[in-house]
Every structure is written in structure tokens, then in C-alpha cells.
Amino acid sequence: MATAGIPEEVLRNEQLIQKLEEIAKDAALMSGILMRTKETPNGSEVVGFAPFTLFPSPVPKALFQQALAVQVHFNLLVDKISQNPDFLEEALSSTIKVDEFTAKLFNIHRQVLQEGHAQSIVVGLNRSDYMLDQDEDGGTSLKQIEINTIAASFGGLSSQTPDVHRHILKVANRLEERKKILDNNPAAGLAKGLAKAWELYGSEKAVVMFLVENVQRNIFDHRYVENELWSRNIPVIRRQFEDVFKTGSLDQNKRLFVDGQEVAVVYFRNGYMPQNYTSTQSWEVRLMMERSLAVKCPDISTHLAGTKKVQQELARPGILERFLPDQPEVVAQIRATFTGLYTLDMGAEGDETVAMALAKPDHYVLKPQREGGGNNIYGREICEVLEGMTDSSERTAYILMDKIRPCPVHNYLLRPGAPLKLSTCLSELGVFGAYVRQGKEMVMNECVGHLLRTKSSEHADGGVAAGVAVLDNPLLV
């Protein structure tokens, strides 16, 4: 068991751990690492700290740097996919027959294509997520879990966590480890992308609209990005689907107005799960925004580029080369992060995937086309799901992926009201990318920061917002 990151002499010192717990919680509150409570999720001044680890978790420096270096290439790849309607139709043709949510998104995509895009400016704020996979020989490699092209969260709160862990390590007199915590400010980088799009839109009075959920426990994560925009004198409004339905409209030039204010950029922090669309009105609003002159973050084709089915198709031989011709080094860097991804389409190849999964369910993860954490299927449950649809096209709503075997470490997971205990933990590294394209010209393409989330090894799935993982920082080793 690896315990790098928490020296044994610290682990054995219960008095010190209790003192550090108290200091860490206060430091998190003082640093603004906050969430609203489940009991009062909206508009309340009652807050708690967002859950986080007591100590930073070890991450090999070379793999961390690999993840950062490949992000600009993933940004470019996602953007190229979004501009290729033939590939999107090809990749998603089986999925949209059985997955109603993806089909509804795809119908909007089709309608926008038929009308022609009103806006040539595209802004993407992505987060590519990885785990560190251990092979049988003890080697470790970086493997991509997924890429999030809509509502990639925790860029705000993760901008605040390095100082907390530095403080804890100082109090624990771990000064060498303290030097290994990197500065990290995704909030500024994400805001830079939105600001660039707003600037290119070219109207000083126009606003950036955050499209937000009804329940807003994670509002402070948004606020860090929002405040970065205000500091640049860019006005921001926050609205829900129903607000836009009531007061939103397009003028004859397709400019989007909400509450009488022109919207330059729509930043989706909502709209990535079926339950976000509570009525047909929500779908009408999504279509209106997609048809508008406002810059969308993401636009509908970029949203679709982040589906699991597209991820699986990209792993096929020759597909990356189709998007990145004459760039063999870039293709190799991207492909090095892929794990095994398998189709469940009807036919011999899909049948073979089903047989593989049923024979060794513990070796795989079954993934639906969903974001937000807590959706994946593991172990015996894979058999239960697939046995119920072996010969049914329903199976094409999923993909199968090799299960990654990360190296566990010890850490303490701090949650409001929860008792302190040492846990065996697994970590997931996210890397934020921001890009802006105007017409054919890429005017910004950057890696803008990282996010480490850690969970107890007893949980197979789920992120911070899903209540399973907690915020963390990489301690580069």
C-alpha cells in the first residue's frame, strides 16, 4: 500500500491529525472552499466547506506533465469533431435510435445545420479526466476516463485548494512536500476563454449568461469564474431555463435577448442530463439559444462531441488520423491515453463485446451517454444489464470500457459532520482546457489548470457533486 504523501510518522500521530483536521476545516472556510448545504441549497447564507482531503495525494510528475501537455491537442480534436457533421451522424446513428436524450440533442444539431450557424465564434471549456493505470509489471500509465465538453465543474474551487494544503503541510512541518504543491488557477483560465468570446462578439453592453440549475449548492464554484469576468468589466447574469423561456427572444438578426439584455455568450452550467430538461419548454429554450447569434459554451455539436459513443469511435484505428492528418506525433500523444473502448452496436463486433463483458465483468465498465457522475455500471450489475438486452438494440445506448486499476493510497477525507477516519483512496486527475475559434482561425488554445478528486476505494463511481469524491491536490513525486 502506497502512503507517499502522508509520512508514516505523521499517520501514527493521532494528536497531530486531530489538530490538522481542525486547522484544515477552518482554512477551507477562510479560503472560500464552500458549498451550500443540502438542506438549504438555494439563496441561503448557510454554507459548509466543500469536502476535501486532509493531505495532498501523490501523482507521478511525468504522468501529470503528460496530461497537461496533451490537453491542447484534445481541445483541437474536440473542435474538429464538432465541425464534422458526417462523423457525428455516423458515430451516433445507432445511439440516437435508442437513447431519447441524445436523440433530442441531435435533432437540435440537425436543425441548426439546416438553418446554418448564426455565429462563427466557438468557445470550448473542456476537462479531460484520467486515472493512473497499473499494469501487471508494476508500471503506471495515464489513461483517459472521459472528456467533459459541457459544464466541466470545480475550476473555481480547485483554484483555492493549493493554499489550504500548503498551510497544512507547513503546520505538520513537511516543508519539502509543501514545495511540491503547484499553483493552480483554472477559474482565471476558464474566464479568459469566455472573455475572449465576449470580446469577439463585439458589444460592450452585452452580457455573459450562466445557464444554471434549479438547485445551486455548487454556486461558489461558478462565482470564482464569474468574478474573474466582472474584474474584466464583463457583465454576467445567471438564469435558469424557465427564466429564458419567460423573458428570452431573438430579434430579426437572431440576437438573443433575456430580460431585455443582449446575450453575447451562453455558458452552460446546466443542460447535460435528461432531468435538467423539466419540460418541453426547456427543449424549446435550448433550440432558441442554439439558433441565436450568442456564442454558446458549448454549442450543440461540441456537446455531442463529448458523448461516450464518440469517445469509443475515436479509439478505432484510423479515426484520429482522419481528424489530425499529417500530425502523427499528436495522434500518438492522444492515443497513448486511450484505454480499451468497445462498441455495443448490433452485429458481430457488438456481440463479441457482450460476450467479453459477460465472461469477465470485473474487467470492464459499462457506460451510458451521461455526464454528472454516478451513471456507470460495474461488476455483476454489468451482467444483469446486458443479459436483459443481449439481442436488443437497447444495448447501443452504452459503450464498454476497460476498467482502470489505479494504485490506492491512504488519506483522510474531510466532510462536514463526518467522523475522521483513514481511508484507502483512489484519485482521478482532470485537466482543464480553454479554446476559442473564430471562423477557421483558432485564436486561443490553452491548458488552463487541473483538478484532483479522490474517493474511498469502496465507491466504484461518482464525483464531488455526486457526494462521493472530494477535492484534492497533486503532490508531484
> Quick check: 4 pLDDT over 60?
no
Asked if residue 410 is part of any domain, the answer here is no
Domain encompassing residue 161: 8-339+416-476
- Residue 344, pLDDT > 80, answer yes
Known catalytic membership, residue 153: yes
> How many angstroms separate the Cα of 133 from the Cα of each of 59, 404, 428?
12, 5, 11
Q: How large is the average pLDDT for residues 19-39?
A: 96
Q: Is residue 131 pLDDT above 80, yes or no?
A: yes
Model pTM score: 0.95
Q: Annotated binding site: which residue ranges?
A: 127, 146, 148, 150-153, 216-218, 269-272, 308, 367-376, 378, 401-404, 428, 453, 455, 461, 464-465
Q: Compute the mean pLDDT over every residue in the chain, rounded to the nearest whole number.
A: 94
From residue 4, alpha-carbon distances to 10, 11, 57, 194 in Å are 11, 11, 8, 38
Active site residue 335: no
Q: Both 360 and 466 in a single domain? A: no
pLDDT of residue 462: 58
> Do both 457 and 317 map to the same domain?
yes
- What's the Rg (C-alpha) of the chain? 22
Out of 382, 403, 424, pick the residue that ends a domain.
403
Specify whether 131 is located in the same domain as 194.
yes
Binding-site residues for ATP sit at 146, 308, 367-376, 378, 401-404, 428, 455, 461
Output the domain CATH number for residue 398: 3.30.1490.50
pLDDT at 2: 44
Task: Tell me, yes or no, whether 411 lies in a domain.
Answer: no
Number of domains in the chain: 2
Residues 289, 348, single domain; the answer is: no
Contact 25, 152 (CB under 8 A): no
Spatial separation of the C-alpha atoms in residues 55 and 12, rounded to whole Å: 14
* Claim to verify: residue 347 and residue 470 sit in the same structural domain: no
Which residue ranges make up the annotated binding site for substrate? Answer: 127, 150-153, 216-218, 269-272, 453, 464-465
- Residue 83 within any structural domain of the chain: yes
CB 406 within 8 A of CB 427: yes
Which entry of 255, 367, 395, 437 is annotated as an active-site residue?
A: 367
Whether the CB-CB separation of 102 and 273 falls below 8 Å is answered with no
Active site annotation includes 21: no
322 is a domain residue: yes
Residue 408 lies in a domain: no
pLDDT in tens, 238-253: 999 999 999 999 999 9
Is pLDDT at 78 greater than 60 in this prediction? Answer: yes
Residue 400 has pLDDT above 60, yes or no: yes
Identify the weakest region by mean pLDDT among 114-118, 192-196, 351-355, 465-469. Answer: 465-469
440 and 399, same domain (yes or no): no
The residue annotated as part of the active site, out of 174, 192, 308, 309, is: 308
> Is 146 annotated in the active site?
yes
Q: For 272-331, what is each residue's pLDDT tens digit?
A: 999 999 999 999 999 999 999 999 999 999 999 999 999 999 999 999 999 999 999 999
Q: Of 403, 433, 451, which residue sits at a domain end?
A: 403
Query: Does residue 169 contact residue 181 with C-beta atoms inside 8 Å?
Result: yes
Confirm whether 161 is domain-assigned.
Answer: yes
pLDDT exceeding 90 applies to what percent of the chain? 87
| 306 in catalytic set | no
Which residues does the annotation place in the binding site for Mg(2+)? 146, 148, 371
Looking at the structure, do residues 279 and 253 belong to the same domain, yes or no? yes
Question: Residues 332, 347: one domain?
Answer: no
pLDDT for position 1: 41
Looking at the domain assignment, is residue 3 inside a domain? no
- Decide if 1 is inside a domain: no
Q: Annotated catalytic, 5?
A: no
- Find all residues with CB under 8 Å of 118, minimum gap 6, and list them: 254, 291, 292, 293
- Which pLDDT does position 252 carry in this prediction? 97
Query: Residues 334, 443: one domain?
Result: yes
Residue 127 known to be catalytic? yes
User: At residue 372, does pLDDT exceed 70?
Assistant: no
| Distance (Å, whole) CA 338 – CA 351 | 22
Whether 349 and 467 map to the same domain: the answer is no
pLDDT tops 50 at residue 221: yes
The catalytic residue among 5, 128, 146, 239 is 146
Amino acid present at 287: L
Q: 335 with 346, same domain?
A: no
The domain boundary, picked from 403, 425, 453, lies at: 403
The verdict on whether 395 is a catalytic residue reads: no
Is 362 found in the same domain as 255?
A: no
